[in-house]
């Protein structure tokens, strides 16, 4: 079974690649994420004619939104390591004059000269890389002096869910976090921005709250996570059943709760003037 925790690092090799595209479509439909994305665009200070790079463009929606801000004289490029995601992005219809370009490219080795872009953005991508600091250094390299960089990432140690036995819940949530290539990335982005020599660094924590069990199952892949934790021997079958039954009972009573904290980090490359 495909596991969203680790699957996004190798989408093209997954058994059901379409499920990953559908997952991104779901994320783009949720008001919390739409608002966070709008704020990230604002922090990039995209103006007409801007050159913008989207790291991990996925289904292309963010690149298209930024292309509208950059206008017909701008240039927005989305990169991804997944041919599946790029095919999805290229298949979308975009407003005339705002079509972003898409390129197969590894974020750790960006195929662009120094100082190519006015703004560079990444959204929930660094969690799927083994060396986020290397990606951030590359982001800074291809950003012009005075340009802006933005990252939006979760810290999976902040994932909370109710109800559930404390020990069982910890085992399942740690199992999920530890199967993400970089589950602690949220706390590491700001230090990596500093290490890359960026200035004017701002960190804004934002928390997603999900009180609907069906939606939480889709966002957090709860059923697959629980099944795999049981299969791996992390929890016993009885513990898994009780955990799942407890969530269902809480949902029925209107008391189910889950949350996850993300960090929106922005910074400026020294020198020059901001766009």
Output phi, psi for 22, to 5 deg: -65, -35
Q: Please report the pLDDT score of residue 275 as a whole number.
A: 47
- Residues 130-143: pLDDT tens digits? 999 999 999 999 99
From residue 57, alpha-carbon distances to 39, 82, 157, 178 in Å are 17, 10, 25, 24
Helix (H, G, I), strand (E, B) or coil at 135: helix
- Whether 1 shows a pLDDT value over 50: the answer reads no
- Give which of 117, 23, 104 is closest to 56, Cα–Cα: 104
Query: Higher confidence at residue 3 or residue 52?
Result: 52
Helix (H, G, I), strand (E, B) or coil at 60: coil
- Give which of 260, 184, 183 is closest to 27, Cα–Cα: 260
How many distinct helices (H) and strands (E) make up the chain? 11, 8
Strands 257-268 and 160-162: antiparallel
> H-helix or E-strand containing 196?
none
C-alpha span between 273 and 275 (Å, rounded): 6
Domains of the chain in start order, with CATH, are 4-268 (3.40.50.150)
Output phi, psi for 71, to 5 deg: 75, 180
Strand ranges inside the chain, DSSP E: 51-55, 75-80, 101-104, 117-123, 143-154, 160-162, 199-210, 257-268
- Residues 257-267: pLDDT tens digits? 999 999 999 99
Q: In this structure, how many other beta carbons lie within 10 angstroms of the beta carbon of residue 101?
A: 14
* Average confidence score pLDDT of the chain: 92
- Residues 140-169: pLDDT tens digits? 999 999 999 999 999 999 999 999 999 999
- Residues 46-102: pLDDT tens digits? 999 999 999 999 889 999 999 999 999 999 999 999 898 899 899 888 877 778 999
- Whether 4 shows a pLDDT value over 60: the answer reads no
């Amino acid at each position: 079974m495909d596991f969203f925790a680790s699957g996004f690092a190798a989408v093209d090799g997954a058994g059901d690649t379409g499920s990953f595209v559908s997952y991104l479509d779901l994320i783009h439909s949720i008001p919390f994420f739409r608002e966070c994305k709008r704020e990230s665009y604002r922090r990039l200070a995209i103006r007409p004619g801007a050159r913008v790079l989207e790291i991990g463009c996925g289904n292309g929606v963010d690149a298209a939104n930024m292309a509208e801000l950059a206008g017909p004289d701008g240039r927005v490029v989305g990169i991804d390591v997944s041919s599946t995601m790029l095919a999805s992005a290229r298949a979308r219809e975009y407003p005339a004059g705002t079509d972003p370009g898409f390129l197969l490219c590894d974020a750790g080795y960006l195929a662009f000269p120094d100082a190519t872009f006015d703004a560079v953005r990444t959204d929930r991508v660094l969690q799927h890389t083994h060396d986020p600091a290397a990606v951030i250094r590359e982001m800074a390299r291809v950003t012009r002096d005075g340009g802006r960089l933005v990252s939006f990432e979760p810290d999976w140690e902040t994932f909370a869910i109710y109800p559930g036995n404390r020990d069982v819940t910890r085992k399942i949530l740690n199992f999920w976090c530890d199967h993400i290539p970089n589950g602690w990335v949220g706390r590491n982005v700001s230090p990596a921005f500093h290490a890359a020599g960026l200035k004017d660094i701002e960190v804004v924590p934002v928390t997603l709250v999900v009180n609907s069990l069906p939606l939480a199952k889709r966002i957090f892949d709860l059923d697959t996570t629980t099944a795999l934790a049981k299969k791996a021997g992390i929890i016993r079958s009885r513990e898994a059943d009780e955990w799942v039954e407890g969530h269902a009972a809480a949902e029925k009573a209107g008391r189910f709760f889950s949350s996850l904290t993300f960090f929106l980090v922005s910074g400026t490359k020294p020198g020059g003037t901001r766009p």
